[in-house]
Amino acid sequence: MTKAEIVAGISEETGLERSEALRAVEAFMLSIKRSLSEGQNVYLRGFGSFVVKRRAQKTGRNISKKTTVIIPAHNIPSFKPAKVFVEEVKNNVAAD
């Protein structure tokens, strides 16, 4: 599913114009990005959590040049779905 499809679905379900639904989706995503970049986690009950995870410093290898590189510690965004969300997907997705 693409952002355009999400916007179309929101527009259809709520009766909002597509441009208004697009602004709402963009504002939602911007709000999450801002919160995470400030180190604040975002919790959406029944959906999941957007959290900041810390990756420790590690040694990487460039096998083509046969060199090692130190990869510094850094933060990455992560999403952890709520149990209700996980159960719904487990029970509703057809097995391959």
Q: Is residue 14 part of a domain?
A: yes
Q: Is residue 69 part of a domain?
A: no
Q: Is residue 25 part of a domain?
A: yes
Domain encompassing residue 3: 1-39
1-57 tens-digit pLDDT: 999 999 999 999 999 999 999 999 999 999 999 999 999 999 999 999 999 999 999
Confidence of residue 93 (pLDDT cuts 50, 70, 90): confident
Contacts of 50 (CB under 8 A, 6+ apart): 32, 35, 36, 41, 42, 44, 77, 78, 79
Dihedral of CA 6/8/13/18: which sign?
A: positive
Are the C-beta atoms of 8 and 18 separated by less than 8 Å? yes
Q: Is residue 79 part of a domain?
A: no
Q: What is the DSSP letter of 69?
A: E
Q: Is residue 22 part of a domain?
A: yes
| Count of domains observed in the chain | 1
- Note the pLDDT of residue 14: 95
